[in-house]
Structure 1
Amino acid sequence: MQPRIPRQSAGEQDDRRPDGAGLDDRFTAELASAVSGARRRAVRDGDRHVDTAHLLHSLLESDADVRAVLGDGPRIARLLGYLVQRSIGYGLRWQSAVEESGAVPVVTGATGFSPLAEAAVDEARARASRRGTGRACGVDLLAALVADPQARAVEVLGRAAVEPGTVIAGVERYFEPAS
């Protein structure tokens, strides 16, 4: 019987990618911690891949800026409630399927990320690069998570009545220069 989560090489266990580019090189310390938390959550939940909902859950728990963009208070509580339920309720159907939208080719990479989660992580880094900063932050990843309407993170946000457009508007306000 094969393990549900692909085994990580020694380099990946400390959150290093096979190509040698560590998360520390691409992300702020806070975001690297959130991605590590998402990996632990996927293993704990018995999921095959880290998906966009794992990433969203970890961001909500660990990143105050992400919570501020989404609007602290009852909305965050609702979102966390739906995310916690994934292991006992609606998320069970996710365990037997790889998160993908068809727009991103399905590959079985060594990172253990679903294709959409991998694309979101890459897009977060690209967003930071376009802004002229070397490292992506949690708000960059939040924006990337809502980019594909097929993402599980978008489904969770929808269940909590949070529209992707509202998230993007909050992200844009977050990055607006203070005047």
Structure 2
Amino acid sequence: MEPRTAGRAAPDEGGAGAQDDTGPDATLAAVVAGARRRAVRDGDRQVDTAHLLHSLLDADPEARAAIGPGLVRLLGYLVQRSIGYGLGWQRAAEGGGVARPVRGDGTFEGPERWSPLAAEAMRDARRRAARRGESHATGLDLLAALVADPRSRAVEVLEHAGIPAGGLTAGRAPRATGR
């Protein structure tokens, strides 16, 4: 029996998790790899911010802790999305425009497709780390970057789960609104 994703696998080289002299740490490399797998498995044309958010929550305990008491609801919603709830999102690129391949250092290269907002979130996470004098972005850097643009699917998912994205950018664990 052939796997469901046969013929659709995205190559790993040159994508947002590609190693360079200041490449991502193991956690962000796992997040990027997980987001790729989710996009391929879900049949999506590109890796978007919701794929990154879901993978980040799987890989990083600090990001899970930052979500606070709404984590279970959020994970439930993300699972629903991955099993078909998000099929309507396959029709258009997140953030509009043309998705372009992007490396972890913010340069465009390679065969992989990232939504414009996911690519920007990866670059923003790196900039956040650089402002602190760090060479590697953390999961919390990526979480803050994912919720920085209110048009992102990550923000849409969080808000749908009753978690105010604005509380995550301020570094506070938000309370679920009980939706």
Same-fold call, TM > 0.5?
yes
Any idea what the Cα deviations from partners look like across 1:68-113, whole Å, max 9, x if unmatched? 1111x5x111111111111345411101111015xxx534333321
2:81 to 86, 104, 120: 86
**Is the counterpart of residue 33 in structure 1 residue 30 in structure 2?**
yes
Aligned residue identity for 1:167: L
Structure with bigger helix share is 1
Q: TM-score, normalised by structure 2?
A: 0.79
Q: Does the Cα contact within 8 Å between 1:128 and 1:135 map onto a contact in 2?
A: yes
2:45 to 48, 53, 61: 48
Pairwise CA RMSD:
2.6
Extract structure 1 runs of 4+ deviating beyond 6 A.
none
Q: Does the Cα contact within 8 Å between 2:15 and 2:112 map onto a contact in 1?
A: no
- The change in CA–CA distance for 1:23 and 1:58 in structure 2 (over 3 A counts) is farther
Aligned residue identity for 1:32: A
- The change in CA–CA distance for 1:166 and 1:13 in structure 2 (over 3 A counts) is closer
- The change in CA–CA distance for 1:156 and 1:95 in structure 2 (over 3 A counts) is same
Q: How many residues align?
A: 159
Q: TM-score, normalised by structure 1?
A: 0.79
Unaligned runs of 5+ in 2: 1-5, 102-110, 174-179
**Is the counterpart of residue 11 in structure 1 residue 3 in structure 2?**
no
Percent identity among equivalent residues? 54
Which residue in 2 is equivalent to 1:134?
Answer: 135
Equivalents in 2 of 1:4, 1:115: separation in Å?
Answer: 24
Range that drifts further, 153-162 or 92-101: 92-101
